[in-house]
């Protein structure tokens, strides 16, 4: 029997205590299969980012069950969750989260450094990842020497350099203009379509959500709707090649 890649059962997340208590998630049930491209939408304070943080093992639920590949993540230790992140998950953030005085090459190498890979393996994998997002030749440039779109491409290269099962993208186009936003969405579509990487994207922009194949809307800490997108926007972006540290 095939299990969902991700399953949330009755996930509740609370912050604070007593009169200051805030319930961010109110018993979320959700299943996501391998290879899906899911847009998670909703107004500010709806719980969408909280749900993303829990699925990305950046936060833990107050109660309920989170299963990843059949493993109960809510029972794991902090170190075990960190190992799960390093092996299976890649992250792309609105603010890029690049080290300012570090080259694109070194920024992309970071997940491999944390994983303990050798210098030569890191350099080769990072170089291939940057080439795959159209930044071959830009390896030694710092973020200050790159446009916003180029910085986000570096962030995507960093996310895919370990060949993750899931890329979690939190408002990945929030700081970009329309043209650069569509280019970034083209890269995410290619990752999903051509290489089967599951993409979970938080966005408040309907134009960006239109690239996904499933739309989930959060309202007041609950899932208000969960529907397939029968006519996703097709990307004209050039194909990219997902790389890994093990590729020769």
How does residue 236 score in pLDDT terms, banded at 50, 70 and 90?
A: low
Domain assignment of residue 163, yes or no = yes
How does residue 195 score in pLDDT terms, banded at 50, 70 and 90?
A: confident
List, as one string, the DSSP characters of 25-77: EEEEEEEE-TT-EEEEE--TTSSHHHHHHHHTTSS--SEEEEEETTEEGGGS-
- pLDDT value at 153 more than 70: yes
User: What pLDDT score was predicted for residue 2?
Assistant: 72
User: What pLDDT score was predicted for residue 245?
Assistant: 44
CATH of the domain at 151: 3.40.50.300
User: What pLDDT score was predicted for residue 1?
Assistant: 55
Domain assignment of residue 194, yes or no = yes
Cα separation, 39 vs 188, in Å, equals: 12
Residues whose CB is less than 8 angstroms from the CB of residue 62 and which lie 6 or more positions away in sequence, other chains included: 12, 13, 14
- pLDDT value at 219 more than 80: yes
**pLDDT tens string 14-42:** 999 988 999 999 999 999 999 999 999 99
Domain assignment of residue 192, yes or no = yes
Q: What number of other Cβ atoms are within 10 A of residue 207's Cβ?
A: 13
Mean predicted confidence (pLDDT) in 168-193:
92
Cα separation, 73 vs 110, in Å, equals: 24
Domain assignment of residue 149, yes or no = yes
Specify the number of domains making up the chain: 1
Mean predicted confidence (pLDDT) in 126-141:
93
Q: Which domain holds residue 200?
A: 34-59+87-228
Domain assignment of residue 70, yes or no = no
How does residue 3 score in pLDDT terms, banded at 50, 70 and 90?
A: confident
User: What pLDDT score was predicted for residue 113?
Assistant: 92
Contact assessment for residue 213 and residue 228, using Cβ atoms and an 8 Å cutoff: yes
- pLDDT value at 237 more than 90: no
Domain assignment of residue 44, yes or no = yes
Domain assignment of residue 104, yes or no = yes
Instruction: Specify the pTM.
Output: 0.90
Kindly state the percentage of the chain with pLDDT values over 90.
83
Domain assignment of residue 198, yes or no = yes
Q: 120-152: b or e for each residue (b if 16 or more CB lie within 10 Å)?
A: ebbbbbbbbbbbbbbbeebbebbbeebebbbbb
Contact assessment for residue 165 and residue 244, using Cβ atoms and an 8 Å cutoff: no
Contact assessment for residue 6 and residue 67, using Cβ atoms and an 8 Å cutoff: yes
């Amino acid at each position: 029997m095939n299990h969902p890649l991700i399953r949330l059962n009755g996930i509740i997340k609370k912050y604070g205590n007593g009169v200051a208590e805030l319930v961010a998630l109110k018993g979320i049930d959700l299943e996501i299969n391998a290879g899906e491209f899911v847009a998670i939408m909703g107004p500010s304070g709806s719980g969408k980012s909280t749900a993303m943080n829990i699925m990305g093992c950046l936060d833990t639920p107050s109660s309920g069950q989170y299963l990843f590949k059949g493993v109960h993540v809510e029972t794991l230790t902090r170190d075990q969750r960190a190992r799960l992140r390093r092996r299976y998950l890649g992250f792309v953030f609105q603010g890029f989260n690049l080290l300012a005085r570090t080259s694109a090459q070194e920024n992309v190498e970071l997940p491999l450094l944390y994983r303990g890979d050798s210098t030569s393996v890191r350099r080769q994998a990072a170089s291939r990842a940057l080439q795959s997002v159209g930044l071959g030749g830009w390896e030694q440039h710092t973020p200050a020497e790159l446009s916003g779109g180029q910085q986000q491409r570096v962030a995507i290269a960093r996310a895919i350099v370990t060949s993750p099962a899931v890329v979690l993208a939190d408002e990945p186009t929030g700081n970009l203009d329309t043209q650069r936003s569509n280019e970034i969405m083209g890269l995410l579509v290619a990752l999903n379509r051509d290489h089967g990487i599951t993409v979970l994207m938080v966005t408040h922009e309907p134009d960006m959500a239109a690239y996904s194949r499933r739309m989930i809307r959060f309202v007041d800490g609950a899932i208000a709707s969960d529907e397939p997108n029968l006519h996703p926007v097709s990307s004209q972006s050039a194909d990219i090649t997902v790389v890994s540290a093990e590729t020769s």
